[in-house]
Structure 1
Amino acid sequence: MKLNGILPALITPFNEAGAVDHDELGSLIEYQLNAGVSGFVPLGSTGEYYALTNAERRQVLHTVKTAVGDRGTLIAGANGSCTREVLEQIKQTVDAGYRNLLIAPPYYALPSQEELIGHYNVILNEFSDINLVLYNYPVRTNVEVGFSVLDAFKDHPRVVGIKESSGSVLRAVEIGNTYKDHYQLSCGSDDVAFDFFMWGASSWICGPANCFPHQVCDFYRKFSRGDFIGAQNVMRSLFPVMASMEEGKFIQKVKYGCELTGFKPGNARMPLQPLTTEEKAKFRKIFEASQD
């Protein structure tokens, strides 16, 4: 499984009644495909997977797979707070027809590195027909996918890559150098994407691609053909809005960005609260400046 290009970490739109809006989700997917994305990652952090019921997760998986068909790579999040729960999530994801999974350390349990290796081994032994993309996002899980974990699976044929969301360029350097023949590196830290690609990232699992996929895909095309100055200029124009997202209320800002683009994504589910009038005004100014 090749990790290439721009893969939006899909939001989950909600209608006015608070239910998942599958029609809006389908429209977002078409919009992003027309912009040139390579695939999608449903049920990630940006998709508020933690706030969905199991029935809603299955419905989202079905909608995404039906809408995309064979037009892009699909990598589904299937996470939980313990190994048992993660196995349950993986089973329903596999039953929905997905074979590529994005798996972070179990949150709240705070496993050691040895325990995390055991966690991933159980998954690989239980499901022999899936590919794993490791997901390092310590700000969410309080556990890092450390280099001992990367060492443990560096020769495993079904552990194909890592989404690095630590924000650490040094991690990207180390992975890009030491593990370049073992893992495909996917950028998960939007404001340092240019740096990640310089150090060997081949893809970008990108929440902001929900609301400005054309610019993000333009960055990738320029970088891929060796136009590093052009790619850097795209990132320079996007940096203020991405930095704003990264500094807080990320999901709400991505959803508001989708609203500014013409969609109806709805609010994030509680405990997250909508942006205030002042926050919207400030973000809108930055967002509109990025479109110039």
Structure 2
Amino acid sequence: MRQRLQSGIIPAPIMPFLENAAVDWTTFDSYMGQLIGSGISALAVNMAAAEATALEHSEQVEAVKRSRQVSAGETPIVSGLIAPYTQGAVDHAKRLVDAGAESLVVFPPLPTFLSKPLPASIVVDYHAAVEEAVDVPLIAFQTANAGYPVGTIAKLAELKNVVAIKDAAFDIDRTWEIVEEAQETNGRISVLTGNDTFVLEAMLMGCQGALIGLAGAFTAKLVDMQKLAAAGKATEAYQIWNEIGPMARLCWSNPLRDYRARMKYLLMRQGVIPTDKTRAPQTTITAADRQKADMLFEKHGLGAPAYLPLGR
């Protein structure tokens, strides 16, 4: 389990909705099956790409249960853990693990972690409280608005269940620092990139895998790309990245909040989901972004079977 959470591709897929904004569980089951069959290391539900902050706790629990059922033991099921305070995180962690989550991605509690400077001790204490409540592997999560100070990874490595950190700071200089710090833990903690706009570059810098929203599409292609990067075959890896990278940079362009709508539009165009419906206040894709997405879709042939989650 530990190795599967420390490397490879871990998709953080979108959550499909019906036109009335209810969860489309039928499509969810089909979509999870396609992701699980694509060669991924694990599957992370209830992440930011899934509009998790707009999901009820009961819906998050159901997402875990259904993913476990679809996986049938083939792929570890990870869940995002989002709470604004420690006791809330502890309570929800128990709820998710009882539902079948085999690992948790511990989101930074906002707004508390927004203020700077943020002492490493606060970050470690938060993860320690979750670790005490549930005995499953934990993945820390650094974001652009809640960056963890230098020294945090070394302290997190002292906890028995923290196995990786997702770096989604979208700062390539910070990625170098995180990779170097993680290397000092002698394998206790690995770095999974969450930087959708420079996935391959982050892997070539030393990230051992990706826990990433982009892998909710192009899944099999990203699995192949990660293997090539790990083998040092940069030229071959760039042949894949040069096809999907432009769409990634469009989806994660400003305003960043709209990456969910853009990803849903992409998946709808591919025929993976029937509608690109989002939950308010998240809006659907703008006309300008739709035009850009259509252009890239046609230019790079992104509707071809090779670019579907299953890759065939």
TM-score, normalisation: structure 2: 0.86
Query: 1:132: how far off?
Result: 1.1
Letter in 1 for 2:129: V
Shift of 1:144: 1.4
Superposed displacement of residue 188, structure 1: 0.3
CA contact (8 A) 2:190 2:207 kept: yes
Q: Does 2:164 align with 1:161?
A: yes
C-alpha contact 1:75 1:102 (8 A) present in aligned 2: yes
What whole-Å deviation, never above 9, does each CA across 1:220-239 have from its counterpart, x for those lacking one? 23223332101022112222
Q: Normalising by structure 1, what TM-score?
A: 0.92
Aligned length: 288
AA of the residue aligned to 1:89: H
1:116-141 residue CA offsets vs partner (Å, 9 max, x unmatched): 222222222233x1211000013xxx
Runs of 4+ aligned structure 1 residues displaced above 6 Å come to none
Match of 1:237 among 235, 238, 243: 243
Residue segments in structure 2 that go unaligned for 5+ positions in a row: 303-312
1:230-263 alpha-carbon deviations (Å, 9 max, x no partner): 1022112222111111113100011111101102
Answer yes or no: is 1:224 the counterpart of 2:227: no
Alignment of 1:200-215 (within 5 A): 200-215=206-221
Provide the C-alpha distance between the structure 1 equivalents of 2:227 and 2:126, rounded to a whole number of angstroms.
37
Q: Which residue of 2 aligns with 1:26?
A: 29
Q: Aligned-pair distance for 1:265?
A: 4.6
1:49 Cα deviation from its structure 2 partner: 0.9
1:252 corresponding residue in structure 2 = 261
2: CA distance, partners of 1:37 / 1:118? 31
Structure 2 equivalent of residue 12 of structure 1: 15
Other-structure match for 2:127: 120
Between the aligned partners of 2:266 and 2:199, the Cα distance in structure 1 is 19
Contact 2:208 2:230 in 1 (8 A): no
- Show the counterpart of 1:194: 200
Asked whether the 8 Å contact 1:130–1:158 carries over to 2, the reply is yes
- Distance in 1 (CA, whole Å) between partners of 2:287 and 2:205 is 39
Residues 162/64 of structure 1: CA separation in 2 closer, same or farther (3 Å cut): same
Question: Take 2:300 and 2:37, find their aligned partners in 1: how far apart are those partners?
Answer: 20
The residue matched to 1:208 in structure 2 has which SS?
A: helix
For structure 1, list consecutive stretches of 5 or more residues without a partner in the other structure.
none
Matches within 5 A, 1:250-289: 250-262=259-271, 263-289=273-299
Alignment partners' CA distance in 1, 2:174 and 2:189:
13
- Change in Cα spacing, 1:70 to 1:282, as seen in structure 2 (3 Å) is same
**Which amino acid is the alignment partner of residue 264 of structure 1?**
P
Cα shift readout 1:94-122 (whole Å, capped 9, x = no counterpart): 11122311002101123632322222222
Percent of residue pairs bearing the same amino acid type: 20
| Residue pair 1:166, 1:189 contacting (<8 A) in 2 also | yes
